[in-house]
């Protein structure tokens, strides 16, 4: 019966088109402009609604039969920060049926920009109408060129930044590097230009990333503060459902991800999903997450806290949020 219906549908479509052509000549259809074929071309503003209504969007019949949907440029990007909890946030968000995200970090706006938007869009998962395309690359937040480049793609892009106590973040960053390069100098020796004078080495990336206020100033040249959501890495651990509620609201999604999706893994020390995307089994982040931090000289930790304090205060003022780091 289904095949008979399809045969009648396409036969009618073909014959009706032929009758229309014989009844009144139809001028040739102009090819759509490049901006229409590739939503968000540099220099063009592309809203979420415009992207969803793009001419190359798959129709309901084709989407039903091939299940492919359409590849779109992301309407939301997790732009930072490294070792803040971005992987956890992305994995949690992917549970939502209206979120489709790239698993790997594309690094388009910092390392691969010369490849062009067509290359970038081809990395994206296919989405159906009403779904949001996302990606996450934490290094964007500290990349000077990234804000202008994302703005050129679409001024309406929603940005998410997962932030964490900058001292803890720096130690976590060092721990990750140490696991790959066991012979690197100690955390204490890398922290200072001169330990005797207590001068902090801000050229060390582990320290520099945590100066959030400095990096945010660059983003505010291209995006209003209301278009950036700041997620607490600490609350993502202590209250994942609460933080995910804020993220879902920010993205305009129904609050589907709730407490029922999480359980706390005491061994790892952070929440895990009871069921991951496309699976009926519990899922925790891999062994590269939740590494045990080395013991750091507490005097060094305190000097770092003193160093970051004025930057943290400014960040609280800029975002309107007190993250409680001290």
Domain boundaries, the chain: 70-170+205-292
Across the range 190-204, mean pLDDT stands at: 93
Q: Residues 254-263: pLDDT tens digits? A: 999 998 999 7
Provide the 10 A C-beta neighbour count for residue 141. Answer: 26
pLDDT recorded at residue 21: 38
pLDDT recorded at residue 269: 72
The answer to the question of whether 319 is labelled as a binding residue is: no
Q: Nearest Cα to 191, choosing from 311, 302, 313, 314?
A: 302
CA distance 52 to 131: 9
- 274 catalytic residue (yes or no): no
The answer to the question of whether 292 is labelled as a binding residue is: yes
DSSP state, 185? P
Contact 41, 32 (CB under 8 A): no
DSSP 96-141: STTEEE-SS---TTTTSGGG-HHHHHHHSPEE-TT-EEEEE-GGGG
pTM for the whole structure:
0.76
CA distance 39 to 55: 9
Q: Which residues fall within 8 angstroms of residue 304, CB to CB, at 6 or more apart?
A: 166, 167, 170, 191, 200, 207
pLDDT recorded at residue 24: 38
Q: Which string of b and e fits 21-32 if b means at least 16 CB within 10 Å?
A: eeeeeeeeeeee
The answer to the question of whether 26 is labelled as a binding residue is: no
The answer to the question of whether 83 is labelled as a binding residue is: yes
The answer to the question of whether 136 is labelled as a binding residue is: no
CA distance 245 to 254: 9
Q: Residues 115-165: pLDDT tens digits? A: 999 999 999 999 999 999 999 999 999 999 999 999 999 999 999 999 999
Q: Residues 49-105: pLDDT tens digits? A: 333 333 333 334 333 434 579 999 999 999 999 999 999 999 999 999 999 999 899
Catalytic residue among 82, 83, 136, 158, which?
83
Domain 70-170+205-292: which CATH number of 3.40.50.300, 1.20.1200.10, 1.10.10.60, 3.40.50.450: 3.40.50.300
Output phi, psi for 288, to 5 deg: -75, -10
Could you tell me the two tokens for 296? 């750091």
Q: Which residue is it, tokens 């549908």?
A: 9
Q: Does the structure show a pLDDT above 80 at 195?
A: yes
The answer to the question of whether 215 is labelled as a binding residue is: no
The answer to the question of whether 291 is labelled as a binding residue is: yes
């Amino acid at each position: 019966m289904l095949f008979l219906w399809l045969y009648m549908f396409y036969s009618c479509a073909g014959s009706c088109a032929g009758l229309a052509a014989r009844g009144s000549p139809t001028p040739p259809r102009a090819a759509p402009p490049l901006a229409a074929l590739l939503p968000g071309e540099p220099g063009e503003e592309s809203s979420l609604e415009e992207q969803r209504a793009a001419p190359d969007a798959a129709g309901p019949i084709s989407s039903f039969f091939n299940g492919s949907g359409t590849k779109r440029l992301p309407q939301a990007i997790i732009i930072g920060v490294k070792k803040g909890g971005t992987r956890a946030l992305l994995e949690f968000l992917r549970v939502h049926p209206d979120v489709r995200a790239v698993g790997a970090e594309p690094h388009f706006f910092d390392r691969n920009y010369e490849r062009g938007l067509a290359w970038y869009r081809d990395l994206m998962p296919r989405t159906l109408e009403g779904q949001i395309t996302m990606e996450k690359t934490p290094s964007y937040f500290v990349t000077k060129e990234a804000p202008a480049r994302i703005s050129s793609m679409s001024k309406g892009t929603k940005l998410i930044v997962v932030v964490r106590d900058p001292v803890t973040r720096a130690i976590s960053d060092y721990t990750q590097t140490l696991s790959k390069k066991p012979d690197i100098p100690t955390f204490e020796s890398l922290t200072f230009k001169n330990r005797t004078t207590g001068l902090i080495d801000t050229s060390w990336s582990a320290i520099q990333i945590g100066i959030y206020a400095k990096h945010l100033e660059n983003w505010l040249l291209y995006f209003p503060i209301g278009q950036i959501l700041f997620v607490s890495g600490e609350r993502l651990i202590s209250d994942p459902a609460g933080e995910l509620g804020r993220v879902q609201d920010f993205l305009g999604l129904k609050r589907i991800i709730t407490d029922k999706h999480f359980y706390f893994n005491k061994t790892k020390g952070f929440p895990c999903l009871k069921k991951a995307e496309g699976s009926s089994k519990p899922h925790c982040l891999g062994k590269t997450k939740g590494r045990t931090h080395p013991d750091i000289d507490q005097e060094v930790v305190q000097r770092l806290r003193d160093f970051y304090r004025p930057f943290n205060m400014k960040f609280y003022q800029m975002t309107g949020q007190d993250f409680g780091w001290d």
